[in-house]
Amino acid sequence: MIRINDKEYTTFIFDFDGVILDTEKYHFKAWNLALKEYQFVLKEEEYEPLKSTGREHVLHFLEEQYSFNLSQDEKEELFAKKEQYYLELIENISKNDFIPGIELFLEILRKNHYKFAVASSSVLAKKVAQKLSLDQYFDVFIDSSNNIKKKPSPDLFNLAVTKMQVNKDECLIFEDSLAGFQSAISANIDFISVGSLKNEKEIMHVQNFNDLLSLIKESL
């Protein structure tokens, strides 16, 4: 088992955007390309707390803060345009967009028979993973196409635990967003923060997975 802070883990649950792949920059740009047609700009500091919450939460923020009101048909059109722009932007996505150390981290632990899951609020996470042959690493892959409440609800992580048929105290989550932290806390599952954001309830903070490679090698 992997031991971190005197606790052992057998199962690892990953957010996708910002944890496995540096795709948030593409999501942010796609939103603004879609919103440009409505003469609106989403600021980076506004988008930061909306990461990993799903597209409905982004739209709800715009409605609440700026009275950005659309009909249901217009909402669906906006979502479709955002998705189209995102798919165009990631057309040339490659391993250069991997979060540093993630591929080796997955390879090492996979060879040692650890379990992996993805729990993402993104509707396109699995499609992107398949494009880069990342889906092969994961026993369970859950995204918002599963028709489940988005983060900060704990439902995505709870479903991942259920599908993996493990106990929560065996699991460790990797997250990079405020919504993801709250989701992990609500699910009562330990988590590591990855990237720039931290949380007082995390068990560890790392900039990327290179920070963890020496630790896991010692545990194996």
Superfamily of domain 24-89: Putative phosphatase; domain 2 (1.10.150.240)
Cβ(207)–Cβ(48) below 8 Å: no
When pLDDT is averaged across residues 57-86 and rounded to a whole number, the result is 91
Q: At what angle do helices 102-111 and 210-219 cross, to 10 degrees?
A: 20
**4-23 confidence digits (pLDDT tens):** 888 999 999 999 999 999 98
> Helices (DSSP H) in 67-197: which residue ranges?
72-89, 102-111, 125-131, 155-164, 178-187
Domain residue ranges of the chain, discontinuous segments joined by +? 2-22+97-219, 24-89
**82-134 confidence digits (pLDDT tens):** 999 999 999 989 989 999 999 999 999 999 999 999 999 888 888 899 989 99
* 151 or 53, greater pLDDT: 151
Instruction: Indicate the fold that domain 2-22+97-219 takes in CATH.
Output: Rossmann fold (3.40.50)
Strand 190-194 with 115-119, pairing: unpaired
Does the pTM surpass 0.85? The reply is yes
Alpha-carbon span 138 to 145, nearest angstrom: 17
Token digits for 40? Answer: 């609106």
